[in-house]
A = this chain, B = another copy of it.
């Protein structure tokens, strides 16, 4: 057999799809990891049903994982898969329509039984009826090939067949010339205590590789070369993990214990899961009886001098809102993580959305301002978490960290910080009286503020001489005793607002990408739309258009220069996965006619969709 040719391509989008029980998330993860180690840039999009394990073979049970790998910087998991691996008819049915015309579809033919076809709603077999004529289809009996490959390990047929995802992974690894060591190592450690299964998975994986290498079906393999990246140590990381690590890093930098009070909820639970592993690093996780208790316990921990954190998703934010009002009033550090999902109500629990922004800003009684920070990519969750914690500690305030379902589960390469890279954070605990009373005595005034930041002192129990009482009733300026005085209330309401406004001191200017300098169209986004917006802009620029892109990390307060930035452009467009929440805030504050581009489908934007929308705007503004 002659050596096969390898064709050079600059990027590829692959989607693995199968039944919830088929291990597609794992398969996708491994392919991602191989590509990461290989040096590609990449981005991923897992997509799974709300049911734990919907009935086998049904459309509801399909789980998928998409990854884009490239030899250049990649910001999204890609719009349309170039390759679809479909482990059963349902997976084909749900996903085929999204595959790029001319793309490749690989299916496990074994699963294409009459029964399964019916379950998936097919009236005829798509592998035979010509309906896939636009694609290159590779029908492979992966199950049988896997069973045959692992025969020697004495597994039952069901267990044997279960390794077929590794067969698929092996095949794709061959097709794209991925290094296989990391996956082999992974299999070895994962099944360290189940030798038969370990060997079966290794064998299936290699069988898949060899199938590609050997058979006629696959004439060429593809070569996606490593992407240029800043030198350094990298890993692939999901948003939830990065966020958890960011919180740990911040607490570490500040020399504080980290206390997470949380109640499980999709898609935020993995933050709880991750942090619960790290008691050795001074992390305490408290799985509370509900979201209210999670937030309250975190407030209690902050009161005691820990970095209190509470993580949840939108429905949980509802429940926490009264406690967050208390935190605003107590002026204690607190990080509140909202991993947004589709709403309202239970909504679409496993899908992504950006529709809690206004809730984050306004979802409390009274004037209860708090800063809001949003990461823009999975890896950026680390830095955003550090920033949120830093603001919380420095300004003695709850901070809302707005992630979303896409960031939470999506992944990308992350340059791992080294010791010394982390900022140092000074909790600045109060240690002595800060006030002289009329009669010259030294006293402690819990609401006497630092003039620059307007932050109040953080005096933790156990500190002698600073005994004091705080609470949610309006407090007198300075001394902090209960005050019902009208003028004092007005002052305190405005002071709390002023304190949040002063955070512009540390958030820097608006991030704007305007390479040409003559753009008349500004696209402004926040959070996870960064990837598709930036890529859409890049494509438009390649086509000779000028377009500027601003992306907000701080949603409250806005950067000092934002008004000026907005007014520099003839048109401002704001794409959001909601009905126009940031648009509203910008319009209100700056009286600029920001135009929304809104979509609420539970899925990230497609690059092409934003590109198309922007093109129309470009035409309209006449460039």
Which residues of chain A have a CB within 8 Å of any CB of chain B? 49-50, 60, 313-315, 317-319, 321-322, 325-326, 328-329, 340, 342-349, 351, 353, 355-356, 358-359, 361-368, 471-474, 484, 486-487, 489-490, 493-494, 496-497, 578-579, 584-585, 587-589, 591, 593, 599-603
Q: Which residues of B contact A355 (CB under 8 A)?
A: 365-367
In angstroms, Cα B586 to Cα A591, docked, is 10
The answer to whether B366 touches A472, judged by C-beta atoms less than 8 angstroms apart, is no
In angstroms, Cα B345 to Cα A484, docked, is 14
Q: Which residues of B contact A593 (CB under 8 A)?
A: 591
In angstroms, Cα B493 to Cα A353, docked, is 12
Q: Which residues of B contact A489 (CB under 8 A)?
A: 342, 348, 351, 600-602
Q: Which residues of B contact A343 (CB under 8 A)?
A: 325, 364-368
Q: Which residues of B contact A322 (CB under 8 A)?
A: 315, 318-319, 345
In angstroms, Cα B359 to Cα A361, docked, is 9
Q: Which residues of B contact A588 (CB under 8 A)?
A: 584-585, 587-588
In angstroms, Cα B322 to Cα A484, docked, is 31
The answer to whether B362 touches A361, judged by C-beta atoms less than 8 angstroms apart, is yes
In angstroms, Cα B318 to Cα A326, docked, is 11
The answer to whether A493 touches B321, judged by C-beta atoms less than 8 angstroms apart, is no
A344 touching B365 in the complex, CB below 8 Å, given contacts A315-B325, A473-B50, A591-B587: yes
Q: Kindly provide the distance from the CB of A368 to the nearest chain B CB, expressed in whole angstroms.
A: 3
In angstroms, Cα B363 to Cα A343, docked, is 13
Q: Which residues of B contact A340 (CB under 8 A)?
A: 365
In angstroms, Cα B291 to Cα A319, docked, is 11
Q: Kindly provide the distance from the CB of A576 to the nearest chain B CB, expressed in whole angstroms.
A: 11
The answer to whether A328 touches B348, judged by C-beta atoms less than 8 angstroms apart, is no
Task: Count identical subunits in the complex.
Answer: 2
Nearest B residue (CB) for A579: B367
Q: Kindly provide the distance from the CB of A249 to the nearest chain B CB, expressed in whole angstroms.
A: 28
Q: List the 6 closest pairs (A to B, CB-CB), nearest first.
A: A343-B366, A314-B365, A345-B472, A344-B368, A344-B366, A486-B601
In angstroms, Cα B313 to Cα A177, docked, is 63
A484 touching B318 in the complex, CB below 8 Å, given contacts A474-B342, A494-B579: no
Q: Which residues of B contact A497 (CB under 8 A)?
A: 579
In angstroms, Cα B349 to Cα A313, docked, is 30
Q: Which of B325, B351, B601, B602 contacts A318 (CB 8 A)?
A: B325
Q: Which residues of B contact A356 (CB under 8 A)?
A: 365-366
Nearest B residue (CB) for A587: B588
The answer to whether B326 touches A473, judged by C-beta atoms less than 8 angstroms apart, is no
Q: Which of B363, B366, B603 contacts A486 (CB 8 A)?
A: B603
Identify which of A355, A367, A489 gathers the most chain B CB atoms within 10 Å of its CB: A367
Q: Kindly provide the distance from the CB of A539 to the nearest chain B CB, expressed in whole angstroms.
A: 23
In angstroms, Cα B97 to Cα A487, docked, is 14
Nearest B residue (CB) for A592: B591
Nearest B residue (CB) for A292: B319
Q: Kindly provide the distance from the CB of A80 to the nearest chain B CB, expressed in whole angstroms.
A: 15
Q: Kindly provide the distance from the CB of A436 to the nearest chain B CB, expressed in whole angstroms.
A: 22
